[in-house]
Amino acid sequence: MRADDLLAGIVFPNSLFEEEWMWYLGAFVAFNTIVFVGLSIGKFLPWPPQPSSIVLDEWRNRAGRFERMVEDEDSGS
């Protein structure tokens, strides 16, 4: 193998890149790269704060009171 046979450091024969499975592998790697770039960018974006357990308990209690009020109104009529 001569030095002229190597193009840009690629040591695979050109016929390998024409194989169908290599195109599928390239598409998978490209998709995977795009997904992980999106996830990485998402780590730097500010997200709204998650509700604390105290707030969630308050919402549950409020919903329970509302359900009891509705049941009382339904049973009273």
pLDDT tens profile 19-70: 899 999 999 999 999 999 999 998 888 887 776 777 778 878 887 777 777 7
pLDDT at residue 70 in the model? 73
Question: Is the model's pLDDT at 2 over the cut of 90?
Answer: no
The verdict on 64 and 35 lying in the same domain is: no
The verdict on 4 and 22 lying in the same domain is: yes
Give the number of domains in the chain.
2
pLDDT at residue 25 in the model? 93
Alpha carbons 74 and 30: distance in angstroms, whole number: 59
pLDDT at residue 3 in the model? 56
Alpha carbons 16 and 1: distance in angstroms, whole number: 17
Query: Which pTM value belongs to this model?
Result: 0.47
Of all helices (H) and strands (E), which one includes residue 76?
Answer: helix 53-76
Question: Is the model's pLDDT at 7 over the cut of 60?
Answer: no
Counting every residue written for the chain, the total comes to: 77
The residue segments making up the domain with residue 68 are 47-77
